[in-house]
Structure 1
């Protein structure tokens, strides 16, 4: 993951997605990510959209638990 253009919360979110996916065996929900990084769900959703625009994460529209870190 290239941290050069990621904000600190985005780095924490990417790390949380990887760790929660590794421990559970499936991607976390936005609420689970928010609890892990101690941010609101709406703030996490905002950062996830920005990260998706930068090609850091991907997800399947209208499907929960589908965020994955690409880099």
Structure 2
């Protein structure tokens, strides 16, 4: 979880520049649950954003993860 949090924190400036943000909520096995806020929460490209985060985490850690938005957060 520490490495996943660090990867998400590395990407946060990009999201903030676009008027949004992403925050790690929890990790449940291979599921990474995140909270999107600001422009990222309502963006039509939110799915692509989540896929980009998922790809980065999977590529760096060398095993598959699924990034899922937390709609209850």
TM-score bracket for this pair, using the shorter chain length: 0.3 to 0.5
Question: Which structure has more helix as a fraction of its residues?
Answer: 1
TM-score w.r.t. the length of structure 2 is 0.38
Higher strand share: 2
Higher RCO, 1 vs 2 (CA within 8 Å, ≥6 residues apart): 1
